[in-house]
Amino acid sequence: MADKGNWALAITVFTAGFLLVRADIITEAPVGQLFVYELHREVFQREFEPFHKVFGQVYNDPMVFKCNKERFPDLPRWLRFTQRDAYDNGFLYGTPLPRDQGRNIIEIFVINKRNYETFKERLVINVGPAVKQMPYQAEFFIELREIEKVLPAAVQAEIKLDIQNLWRTSRLEFVNITSALDRGGRVPLPLPGYFEGVYVKLGSDQPFSPCMLRLETAEHQRECASGGKISGDCSRCTNPINCITWCKSTLFDLSKPVPPAPLPTVGSGVLAWGGEFSPPESPPDRDFFPDYIVTVIVPLALIHVSDKTTFNLYHHHTIQGDASELRRMAGGDRRTADRPRQCLQPLLMAEQAMAES
């Protein structure tokens, strides 16, 4: 029993040293607004016991984040995780819906790919009711961006500033950010200058500007369909990689009440009489012998003729070879000529045996 207790203590100490655990991190996420939580590598770099505490040596270790809902293999349906590379930060992002309200406990596992130490953290996300009403929403497509490059707060501030100038209001909030790959876009080539593209959706309680209302005009739709020059593009971007694609911009006016769907018409519950069932007549008889001749007899005849022709050609070829061999033997000394390769060899062997006897 003492040995078992020592083994249990050793395993407990080893596990505690291998898997480091920290206090829970608690955050809030209101319904209808974009939630982003960035996992900084440098924060977790200090959690391991590296050499810089002993020898003053600092490592830039590659780290991989694994996230899931507590006691579940995946994340909640409204939450996503992305990390481009082991040397990049990770991001948890998503927009909760009213049905997602409640407490979400996310387990975050950090794996150091240099020494394979593991660190565990728990993130508690309290999804509450909507804080701001945003009946006016607009979605824009940024072609030269990738999802990991848009989620940092500094980049979101740049994009929001450009949209504020377009919307003519500062009362904007991000509603959602989605990769074009999640909308059916193609995976870009792994070469410089190719990007996956990102859709950003913002909302406000202020109506759309006159410039944005051009997106709903028939003239704008005709210009985008023709693929020519867009005359109504009034968007501006301080950073060229944040420029939006004007023809892929969409407005959502949620201030207008949506008419309810018409109710189904309730019938008597009895099907109308359609008469007696009349099965279809049998198809007419068909003679399959011509089909049999075409599909079976004709191919067999062709194969037979082909085989006979091949045999005749081979027989003709062997006769020509034998004749050439006889001519070569008749033109020279019999003893110095090449021995025949086929039917004459047994005769020559018999003559040689008679001469020796």
Mean pLDDT of 349-354: 64
Mean pLDDT score across all residues of the chain: 82
> What are the pLDDT digits (tens) for 103-141?
999 999 999 888 888 889 999 999 999 999 999 999 999
Count other C-beta atoms under 10 Å from residue 235's C-beta: 18
The three-state secondary structure class of 352 is: helix
> Which pLDDT band, with edges at 50, 70 and 90, does 53 fall under?
low
pLDDT of res. 18: 43
Q: Give the pair of three-digit tokens for residue 233.
A: 């593009």
C-alpha to C-alpha distances, 217 to 212, 245, 251, 350, nearest whole angstrom: 10, 17, 12, 108
CA Rg value for the chain: 41
| DSSP three-state, residue 218 | helix
Per-residue pLDDT at 33 exceeds 60: yes
Residue 9's pLDDT is 44
Tens digits of residue pLDDT in 67-78: 999 999 999 999
Reported pTM = 0.65
Top pLDDT among 264 and 18 is at 264
Q: How far apart are CA 116 and CA 18, in angstroms?
A: 9
